């Protein structure tokens, strides 16, 4: 898990580890070009706990390989979730990376297309 980037192997048959660690990206279902949207990234379909022995250290949001946001967390943070504004002018690939102190870096991506 450390030394590589973890990704979901089969989205239709996710393991418990994947459900707790793979970033989930949420964006509006409809928006126009040159409109600012809000991208929300959270860790897991099953909410990942935050305690001194096991927590999410950071979340990064990228748009077309450009870093948009990096948020750091501590074990005292109530949850690992971020929302960032993004001006979308054209089809854009969003990528979210997060790091769990025990299970390494996880990545998810999603293409967003304005109407």
pLDDT tens per residue, the chain (115 residues)? Answer: 667 999 999 999 999 999 999 999 999 999 999 999 999 999 999 989 899 999 999 999 999 999 999 999 999 999 999 999 999 999 999 999 999 999 999 999 999 999 9
C-alpha distances in Å from residue 47, one per residue of 19, 41, 44, 73, 102: 8, 12, 6, 15, 16
Question: Per the structure, how many domains does the chain have?
Answer: 1
C-alpha distances in Å from residue 43, one per residue of 30, 36, 90, 114, 115: 23, 23, 26, 25, 28
What residue numbers bound the domain in which 72 lies? Answer: 5-112
Write out the DSSP string of 32-63: -TTEEEEEEEEETTTTPP-BTTB-EEEEEEEE
Say which CATH number the domain at 57 has.
2.60.40.730
Q: What is the DSSP letter of 27?
A: -
């Amino acid at each position: 898990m450390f030394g590589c980037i973890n990704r979901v192997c089969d989205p239709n048959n996710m393991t418990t580890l994947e459900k707790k660690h793979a970033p989930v990206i949420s964006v509006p279902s409809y928006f126009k070009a040159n409109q600012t949207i809000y991208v929300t990234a959270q860790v897991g379909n099953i909410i990942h706990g935050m305690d001194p022995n096991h927590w999410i250290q950071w979340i990064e949001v990228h748009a077309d390989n450009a870093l948009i946001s990096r948020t750091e967390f501590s074990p005292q943070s109530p949850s690992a979730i971020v929302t960032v504004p993004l001006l979308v002018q054209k089809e854009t690939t969003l990528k979210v990376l997060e790091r769990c102190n025990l299970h390494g870096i996880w990545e998810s991506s999603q293409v967003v297309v304005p109407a």
